[in-house]
Amino acid sequence: MVNGNGIDEGFQERLRQAEIAEREMLRLQPLAAEAPQLRLQQAKAQKEEERVRTKEEALSKARFSAQSASDKQNRVPELLGQAAQAVIELYTLLKDVDSSRRQAMDALAIADRVDYDIELEEGEEHERSLDRDTSGLAYALAARHGNGRVKQLLEELDPEFSMLRGCNLDEPLFRDVANFVVRHAVPKEAAPQAMMVNGPDSAPIEPEPDPKEAGEPDS
């Protein structure tokens, strides 16, 4: 229907709704303008919450791990004591092994000296029977005796002997521990007495003096 002004009622209704919408837009426009800032604040708040949560989780894990480390460390003194005791026992055993080897070499040195004396006496008798000079015999026989001969005899008693024979040396840590203890228990620079040809109470092997130099006693 058209009113007296020639305006359709539907048009009036649309205009009314448009004006209502316009007023609503004017009312909401300030709030809408805040949307970007509100979104930014929301993002910052969420980021802050995430940071706080991440930090709390990290601190919680740190407290747990620190306590775990402390609990495990409490076992260190006991295990260190056990390890030290084991090292001491190994050190003592290696010292005993080395001592026994030295004693064996001392004994073999005595045996080698006996062999030397026998060979020298027999050789001198033989040379004298042939009316030959014996002055160089002692030097010649000494080359077959002494330290090298004693080592050979010891090797024959226990072939391929080694301080670490039968030990697992494939693991680097095992090898490091073994080398450390051996280095302290049996230092290479300490030459064992058993490596000497002569026993501690025996005279050194020396060639007999030339009778011409010694001279004959007055008759």
User: From first to last of its 219 residues, what are the pLDDT tens digits of the chain?
Assistant: 445 555 677 888 888 888 888 888 878 778 778 888 888 899 999 999 999 999 999 999 999 999 999 999 999 999 999 999 999 999 999 999 999 999 999 999 999 999 888 888 888 888 778 877 777 778 888 888 888 999 999 999 999 888 888 888 899 999 999 989 999 998 763 333 333 333 333 333 443 344 334 344 343
What are the boundaries of each domain within the chain?
A: 9-56, 80-209
Please give the Cα distance from 126 to 122 (Å, whole number).
6
Would you tell me how many other CB atoms lie within 10 Å of the CB of residue 127? 15
Q: How far apart are CA 144 and CA 123, in angstroms?
A: 14
Residues 36-67 pLDDT 10s: 888 889 999 999 999 999 999 999 999 999 99
Task: Write down the pTM of the prediction.
Answer: 0.59
Phi, psi angle pair for 146, to nearest 5°: 95, -155
State the DSSP string of 50-63: HHHHHHHHHHHHHH
Distance between CA atoms of 81 and 24, rounded to whole angstroms? 84
Q: Which two tokens stand for residue 7?
A: 């305006």
